[in-house]
Structure 1
Amino acid sequence: MVTAAKTFSQVVTHMSIAFTVTWAMTGSAALGGVAALLEPLVNVALLPLHEHGWKRLRAAIAALQDNARTALLAERLSQTALHTVVAFGVMYAASGSLALGGMAALLEPVINVLVLPYHDRAWERLRARKARTPAQLQPA
């Protein structure tokens, strides 16, 4: 149950960031709404393909060298690049502006990188607290 709530919260957070960045750049709630809906949907559609590709690449990297950190770093950079391209594409398609697409490509992924770790830590604290609660209710 906590995992589903965390995932839902993560989607809402991502959509809120996409809306806020777009609205702040354009002043348009309509474009903000388009970005909030399209950008996460495109990412959800593309991320499984990205993860599948990286699963195969990790196996190939492991066969060549024993350096999991290099593979993880390359995967994270690739994932960031995917988010950047999607943010640009959605904003450009919605606004027709290369400048706004470029600004979205820079701001939206960076804000997600800064905000989502705090989001995940908060959910981990909640999960840990829920795990401790039954033990605390046990009679001594």
Structure 2
Amino acid sequence: MVSVAKRLSQVAIHMGIAYAIAYAMTGSPMFSGLAVLVEPMINVLLLPFHQAAWEKRRRKASDSRSRYVTVAAEKLSQTGLHAGVAFAVMYVATGSAAMGGIAALLEPVCNVLVLPLHDRLWDSLERGGRASLQWSGA
């Protein structure tokens, strides 16, 4: 049950960050709410194709070094996919490539900064200890 709550709160964090960025850029609560729904749906539709393509590459990796490089490249590619979707959604909404670029950079950065703190809090709660939100750099 804790695992489900943790995943739901991760989704809420993602959606909150997306909403805040969209609202800051457009000033529209209606568009921001719509963007929070549209962006994840596009990612969910594209991600299986992305994963299938990378699965083929991972199977071809022959040694541990090439598997490591392949997984690293896959993660960079997945980040690019998400940034591209964020760019496209904001570009369509505002007609501005600059706004699309800001969204494509800002959303992943915010998620990278906030989600480790979120996960640390949940890990502490799962262990039954006090939550420590110090940044460890890991």
Whether the TM-score (by the shorter chain) exceeds 0.5 is yes
Amino acid at match of 1:48: P
Q: Which residue of 1 aligns with 2:18?
A: 18
- Which ranges in structure 1 are unaligned for 5 or more consecutive residues? 131-140
Distance, in Å, in 2 between the alignment partners of 1:86 and 1:8 is 22
Question: Which has the greater radius of gyration?
Answer: 1
Paired-residue identity, %: 52
Where has structure 1 moved over 3 Å in runs of 4 or more? none
TM-score, normalized by length of structure 1?
0.79
- RCO higher in 1 or 2 (8 Å CA, sep ≥ 6)? 1
Q: 1:37: which partner in 2? A: 37
Q: Secondary structure at the match of 1:99?
A: helix
Equivalent residue, structure 1, for 2:122: 123
The structural deviation recorded for 1:15 is 0.8
TM-score by length of 2: 0.80
Q: Which residue of 1 aligns with 2:68?
A: 69
Mark the CA change 1:30 to 1:51 in structure 2 (over 3 Å): closer, same or farther. same
Contact residue 34 and residue 94 of structure 1 kept, 8 A: no
Q: Distance in 1 between matches of 2:51 and 2:71?
A: 12
Q: Give the superposed CA RMSD.
A: 1.9
Q: Distance in 1 between matches of 2:75 and 2:107?
A: 16
**Structure 1 pair 59/127, CA: closer, same or farther in 2 (3 Å)?**
farther
Q: What count of residue pairs does the alignment treat as equivalent?
A: 128
**Mapped partners of 1:120, 1:70: distance in 2:** 26
Q: Which has the higher helix share?
A: 1
